[in-house]
Structure 1
Amino acid sequence: MKNFGTYSKDDVVFLLKDISSLIVEEGNKEREMKIQNGSHYSEMIPIEYEVSEEYLKLYKEKLETNKDELAYAIGVMSDKIIKKNGEDVVIVSLARAGTPIGILAKRYLKNRYNLDLPHYTVSIIRDKGIDINAIKHIVENHPTSKLQFVDGWTGKGTISKELDKACIDLENIFNKKFDSTLAVLADPAGYSALYGVREDFLIPSACLNSTVSGLVSRTVLRDDLIGKDDFHGAKFYEHLRNCDESTNYIDTIYNCFEGQYENIDKELENWKEDIITKDGDNDVSRIKEKYHIKDINFIKPGVGETTRVLLRRVPNKILVRDINDESLRHIFILAKEKNVEVEEMDLKGYSCCGIIKNMRDM
């Protein structure tokens, strides 16, 4: 699909089926009840609203504050991609958090090295795998190229593990090697072997939903909507066009690249490879035990995942390493707006964690 979302087709090609007229959004509470009663999260999409004026102001402040660090992290990640793969590589972003990161990687490499790499967005869904039809499209159009998968951040490594399984399946289907190394901007969980930074810092695109992702929904896989030859589906949120921040987000970080070249080069001077540490596992285990959580999917660690819990799930409570951490102000605003308890906990790998409410306890 070449004309979808609000990004330029020079930035990304969405390999998604437009199901805008075929699916109705559902409220967070309604979706949470369905998910906890056995429905899969990929069978529905949330209602997306304009955020409050206070929250949007905070998002813009965070983008302004973090733009240089974001440009640095993008540059480090992008240079590692080329050092690892060479120049015959396709950027494959995982929808939807990976899309703006993939666009920025493409722009960085074009701006700095005049490398115009192909960039696609494809769907991967927990417990259901990657979109085989989308990968087939890429392989057929770029038969000699390596595929580099890109996402925004690692939460607790769920998508990294899903990608490991998917690449084994892809090798059997296409009879060629697929590298499951997931390139990410931030890797607080220690699950990426190709990251920009390891700290759990706020990527502003985690603050918003579709309005910083080309007005595209999270991806959908449902038998009545997606045929066997279709790409996974997504909705375009036309009604949010007047508050779309997607292009401004990309341009703001892009304009900081050149100022970070020296810092990026210093970081990469002796780089050979990144080591997977799985540092986040200890935090997740302690949270699971302390709060008697049976389903690990109720635990969403890291600033990006915590933000998403507050935006589109039904949160039980929010854990933070430091209740006075000014970098988590957007978390505190959302928690206050939704009347969600915030509690301090001695977290090691993450700055915060969202815990989803068990609807059976209501």
Structure 2
Amino acid sequence: MELVKTSYNKDDVIILLQDVRGRVPVLDTLEREKLNQKGVHYSEMLPLEYVPTEKYMEIYENSLKTLSYETACAVATLSKKIIEKHGKETVIVSLARAGTPIGILVKRYIKYKYGYDVKHYSISIIRGKGIDVKAMNMIIENHKAEDIQFLDGWVGKGAINKVLEEACENLRKSDIRFNRLSSNLAVLSDPASVTNMYGTRQDFLIPSACLNATVSGLVSRTVKLTTMTDDELHGAVYYEEHENVDKSMEFIETVESYFNSVESNYFNPTKAEVDPTFKGIDEVIEIGKKYGVNDINKIKPGVGETTRVLLRRVPYKVLVRKDADHKYLEHILRLCEEKNIPVEEYPFRKYNVCGIIKDVADL
């Protein structure tokens, strides 16, 4: 079983995914959406990677310039919480693929600030199929469960948190070595208010959310085919055809260049951000009622999730907060323009933006 190749430095991350090139169908967005809504699991097919227009790449480059400092501040805040919890024995386990560049940044910041060279792995977790059991068994052979810190880029409404909680509970039941494994997920941005391990609760744009594989080590979304068992790693492919436009290391190094000037109090939380009685899922339910969407999985709140929807799925419309800072939404508005997706204002309290997926009957 060969591990998937990556354009990241080998010292930054160990990606525990097997290479499945040639074994998984690659389909356009519309075909994938139809199959997904007919019951074919999204992890059994790969999307054609969105090829950014020149204008979109200009927006990405501008976002990288203007938002890398904010990203660095969130990395610093999150890293401090992780070190306070785990110390020098920290083992970062990022959730592929959006979590991988954030895990690299946290690993690098911990080395810069605290002098600890912590381990960093990237593994797959898939809604409806669970965590990569083989990868977790490989990690636990070399590390203690209590040292493991799961990490992702952001939280939308908190769906992946529930998948992780169930997966960790199953691991604890199946193997005594996982008895002290925590499912508490660390993220840079948690507008849903579902974890205490966050860099900020503001729904801001992490520049890496703008792109797919070309900012994620040229690694695809993760795959678990129906023929795969828990005795083998989940899979992915490496997009060697995009090596000439790879931005993965540029993103890492740009954010890292601000490590020496971060402000611990850069993100001052508002009352809405820290209100324990009102969570992101409450706002999602309200949106579902207003727009007649019974399946909340079709409601994708937050800057990161809305970007994903526009890059990978077929949205019905995008809702935006009237007073949202334009620097967080410019790329989203550009994608909506390119794909002819209607944009509507919505009185958000937790989020800046939300994408709603079309029903297959409308495709």
Counterparts of 1:247 and 1:165 in 2: how far apart (Å)?
33
Counterparts of 1:78 and 1:68 in 2: how far apart (Å)?
15
Partner of 1:234: 236
* Large movers: runs of 4+ above 3 Å: 265-268, 274-278
> What residue ranges of structure 2 are gaps of 5+ in the alignment?
269-273
Partner of 1:357: 358
Question: What secondary structure, in the 3-state scheme, does the structure 1 residue paired with 2:264 have?
Answer: helix
Contact in 1 for aligned 2:155/2:189 (Cα 8 Å): yes
* Deviation digits for residues 141-199 of structure 1 (CA, Å, limit 9, x no counterpart): 11475110000000000011111111111111221211111000010111121000110
The amino acid that maps onto 1:15 is L
Tell me, yes or no, if structure 1 residue 215 matches structure 2 residue 187.
no
Counterparts of 1:276 and 1:299 in 2: how far apart (Å)?
22
Partner of 1:252: 254
What count of residue pairs does the alignment treat as equivalent?
Answer: 354
Contact in 2 for aligned 1:191/1:276 (Cα 8 Å): no
Contact in 1 for aligned 2:3/2:17 (Cα 8 Å): no
Partner of 2:190: 187
Tell me, yes or no, if structure 1 residue 203 matches structure 2 residue 206.
yes
Partner of 1:125: 126
Counterparts of 2:173 and 2:84 in 1: how far apart (Å)?
27
Counterparts of 1:339 and 1:242 in 2: how far apart (Å)?
29
Counterparts of 1:128 and 1:49 in 2: how far apart (Å)?
25
Partner of 2:62: 61
The amino acid that maps onto 1:357 is K
Partner of 1:158: 159
Question: What secondary structure, in the 3-state scheme, does the structure 1 residue paired with 2:141 have?
Answer: helix
Aligned-pair CA distance for 1:322:
1.7
> Normalization by structure 1: what TM-score?
0.94
* Residues 197 and 182 of structure 1: CA distance in aligned 2, closer, same or farther (over 3 Å): same
Partner of 2:316: 316
Contact in 1 for aligned 2:95/2:122 (Cα 8 Å): yes
The amino acid that maps onto 2:282 is N
Aligned-pair CA distance for 1:277:
6.0
Counterparts of 1:81 and 1:249 in 2: how far apart (Å)?
22
Question: What secondary structure, in the 3-state scheme, does the structure 2 residue paired with 1:222 have?
Answer: coil
Partner of 1:17: 18
Partner of 1:294: 294
- Decide which moves more: 278-287 or 119-128: 278-287
The amino acid that maps onto 1:205 is S
> What residue ranges of structure 1 are gaps of 5+ in the alignment?
269-273
Counterparts of 1:275 and 1:347 in 2: how far apart (Å)?
14
* Deviation digits for residues 4-49 of structure 1 (CA, Å, limit 9, x no counterpart): 2100110000000111232231100000000100111111110014
The amino acid that maps onto 1:302 is G
Contact in 2 for aligned 1:17/1:231 (Cα 8 Å): yes
Aligned-pair CA distance for 1:86:
2.3
The amino acid that maps onto 2:212 is N
CA RMSD in angstroms, aligned pairs only? 1.9
Question: What secondary structure, in the 3-state scheme, does the structure 2 residue paired with 1:133 have?
Answer: helix
Counterparts of 2:146 and 2:351 in 1: how far apart (Å)?
35
> Normalization by structure 2: what TM-score?
0.93
